[in-house]
Structure 1
Amino acid sequence: MRRVTLHEPVTWMAPASRWIGLFAVVVMLFGLGLLRFGHVDLPDALAVLTVAPAIALLAVLLALLAFVVIWRDGARGLGAALAGIVLALVVLAGPAYVLVEGLRAHRPQDVATDVARPPAFSLSRAALAARHGVTPSLAPGVVRQASIPGRGVVEPLDLDVPMAPAFNAALKVARDLGWDVVEAIPGKGRVGIGRIDAVDHTPILRLPVDITIRFTPRAQGVRVDVRTVVRHGIADFALAVGAERIEQFLDALSDATDESAEGSAS
């Protein structure tokens, strides 16, 4: 008696979902690599990252259609369809997180310690070159007050030290934080305003963040105001791109000047 082997059909959509999901992961990693190591212009790298979620959604769609066929016809391919779903979720998790955080926290991308008179960015040739020709606007309503949810407004820093030591300490703090200092103009005299322009990058995607620091002389010291702008209006998973960055700098500057004053006193 001859044995008859029955072959259960396999829906093509299940393995297709798995391979497309894997391709989406590869595209995402490729785009992240382009951003992280800066081998191409930022818009081109972001375009690659935009394609990855679209490919992942296609993998999800094929997996869902495969589930329907498997349920209706008893076809094989459940494992491949589940793999496609998992791979797609890996790609979609990042954009979903950024979207939810943006809606929840409402973090503005152009923040300063002084909204009434926000620090202006330098228009020198070196500064414009470092910002690739971008000059953040000073139009009313564009710059938002630097504030941290749950901790309140980030205030300007008033230092009871002369302009020169305050400026030099700020320059050192900026470099210690890893900022690329583009221009540094110390204030001179009782009315001279000092300025430091710098560029930082977000930790994961290396998105550029433009920073300007203004030093205004006072009767007994210096007032320090800071403004930061995410150049392309987006943030990555490290959302400390505005007020948190300003607070980190001002806290470090305050500590540095306190230590310098204590050293001079001793």
Structure 2
Amino acid sequence: MARHHLQSEPTSRLAIWARRMAAFAFVASFLAVIIVRSGLLEIRPALATFAGALAIAVVALVLALAAFVVIWTEGLAGIGAALTAMAVSLALLAYPAYFGLKAYRLPWIYDITTDPIDPPRYEALARLRVRDANPITYAGLYAAEQQRAAYPDVGPLGTNATVQAAYDAALAVVNKRRWRIVDARAPQAGRREGRIEAVARTPIMGFRDDVVIRVRAEPDGARIDARSSSRYGSFDFGTNAARVRGLMNDIEDAIRAQKPERPPPTQQPAKKSTGKKDQPKR
């Protein structure tokens, strides 16, 4: 009995290489994120690794598109490999592409504050910044004008609560957000303002951003100012403005949720004595 040999269709080499490069880009991106979040290496080599992985993802996407053309014209196998490479590459490139589109509408700044005239200063956090990080001093009028034009809703928070209540609300919000508190000093009447310095991290890459909150007493309550800045890079993609905006909203909600202090009980005025004893009724 004669045997029939089934010959399989040749697989497109472009599809195979596209899938390999997409897999390599995914692994490199994952390792870069782990390195940045764990702090195993300095941030610049980790960012260079991440940028290289994205470049490889672009090459894998181009190879996948070329593989589709070859598969269609020559009838080769490998459509699954090409589809996998395209899906992985697009997934890796979607996140930076989203922030790239935002860059066209946002100013090239990395430091946001609610008080550009007298911004809260970094004290404890200043000692944590290395030499190649961004400076701790505020950029001044130029950055303030750009911030005002792009984020007009970012401003200080005024409240009729006491300065201690405002400080407690701010501290509770920072703890709820699980920021790493570096320094926290409660306000003292007539002596010092309340200050909270903390380190916040971005959701995916885990970049460390510095945050300082200042609470000052006002004649009719308290004023809360905040400042958030990136340690590295001259562009923050709007992250610091969104952080300050959300922080002030959360502090305002926390102040409203506080139980109002009970006023001291008022004393009833004593009844005047008539000097006469009450006569028993007959």
The alignment's TM-score, normalised by the length of structure 2, stands at 0.75
Aligned match of 1:248: 246
User: Following the alignment from structure 1 to structure 2, what is the Cα–Cα distance between the partners of residues 155 and 224?
Assistant: 9
Distance 1:157 1:40 in 2: 38
- Structure 2 vs 1, CA of residues 258 and 14 (structure 1 numbering), >3 Å: closer, same or farther? closer
Sort the Cα spacing of 1:24 and 1:102 in 2 relative to 1 into closer, same or farther, 3 A. Answer: same
- Please tell me whether the aligned partners of residues 10 and 76 of structure 1 are also in contact (alpha carbons under 8 angstroms): yes
Q: Displacement of 1:166 after TM fit?
A: 2.9
**Number of the residue aligned with 1:225:** 225
Considering only CA atoms, is the larger Rg found in Structure 1 or Structure 2? 2
Q: Does 1:43 find its partner at 2:41?
A: no
Give the gaps of 5 or more residues in structure 1: none
Name the aligned partner's letter for residue 66 of structure 1: A
Contact 1:195 1:215 in 2 (8 A): yes
Match of 1:167 in 2: 167
Task: Return 86-95 or 158-167, whichever deviates more.
Answer: 158-167
Does the residue aligned with 1:153 lie in a helix, a strand or coil? coil
Distance 1:93 1:249, change over 3 A: closer
Matched-pair identity in %? 31
Say whether the 8 Å CA contact 1:111–1:242 is kept in structure 2: yes
How many pairs align?
A: 258
SS state at 1:91 partner: helix
DSSP-derived class of the 2:204 partner: coil
Does the aligned pair in 2 maintain the 1:113–1:146 contact within 8 Å? no
Q: Is the CA contact (8 Å cut-off) linking 2:111 and 2:138 kept in structure 1?
A: no
Corresponding residue of 2:177: 177
CA contact (8 A) 2:109 2:236 kept: no
3-state SS, counterpart of residue 242 of structure 1:
helix
What displacement does 1:72 show?
4.8
After superposition, what is the alpha-carbon deviation per residue over 1:36-78, rounded to whole angstroms, capped at 9, x for unaligned?
3443332232222112111112212323333444455444433
CA shift, 1:187, in A, is 4.3
User: Residue 117 of structure 1: CA displacement?
Assistant: 2.4
Contact persistence 1:200–1:210 (CA under 8 A): yes
Contact 1:112 1:227 in 2 (8 A): yes
SS at match of 2:196: strand
Determine if contact 1:14/1:66 at 8 Å carries over to the other structure: yes
Q: Compute the RMSD of aligned alpha carbons.
A: 3.3
For each residue in 1:59-110, what CA deviation from the matched residue of structure 2 results, as whole angstroms up to 9, or x when unmatched?
1232333344445544443333333222221221121122123334558532
CA contact (8 A) 2:109 2:143 kept: no
Cα 1:75–1:166 shift into 2, 3 Å: closer
Structure 1 contact 192–217 (Cα < 8 Å) conserved: no
CA contact 1:226–1:246 (8 Å) conserved in 2:
yes
